[in-house]
Amino acid sequence: MATDVERAAPVAAPPRTHTVEVTANGERRSAEVEPRMLLVHFLRGTLGLRGTHIGCDTSSCGACTVLMDGVPIKSCTALAVQADGREITTVEGLESAEGLHPIQTAFHEEHGLQCGFCTPGMMLTSIALLRENPDPSEEEIRWALSGNVCRCTGYQNIVKAVQAAAEASR
């Protein structure tokens, strides 16, 4: 067991910064960050990817959802340093040379948004759902989206949009 003397002294100077290198929407990006920088601030502030929204800031609302190595996470509740070496997908990464992603088309056509604030998170969570379960029931869609809050309460059309995207992919 370490004695008190051997233990690290309380931090006085700013802590060491860390290089974070991520593949964000297919592009290699890196920056020096303080360990306490949250992933959502790294994406929005450092990388300029402001499509990822900050909603509740308490990991309740899901507006800040991004995919890390394909898995939805709440980027307000992850540190940027944790993303080092990982692949991040934000809403900016959905459109390709061929045009809108099928989930974007579906949200557009089914009017799956009102104010649009929750939409990036809703779409990213939906993409992960459809990858795992290409033909989800309405109930499965609702459960999968239960970590994403729509403050406009536009859930009916969001569910329809996910159903339409599933249909389009068949």
Our CB check for another protein shows the closer of 109 and 138 to be: 138
CA distances in angstroms from 44 to 11, 41, 80, listed in the order given: 28, 5, 11
Q: Nearest distance from residue 107's CB to another protein, in Å?
A: 18
Q: Is 5 in the site for another protein (CB under 8 A)?
A: no
Q: What is the Rg, in whole angstroms, of the alpha carbon atoms belonging to the chain?
A: 19
Q: Is 90 in the site for another protein (CB under 8 A)?
A: no
Give the separation between CA 24 and CA 39, rounded to whole angstroms.
12
Site stretch for another protein (CB under 8 A), options 1-9, 42-50, 100-108, 153-161: 1-9
Site stretch for another protein (CB under 8 A), options 21-29, 33-41, 93-101, 108-116: 33-41
User: 22, 24, 38, 113: which one contacts another protein (CB under 8 A)?
Assistant: 38
Residues that bind another protein (CB under 8 A): 1-2, 4, 6-8, 10-11, 14-16, 18, 34-38, 41, 57-60, 62, 65, 71-74, 77-79, 81-82, 84, 125, 143-144, 146-148
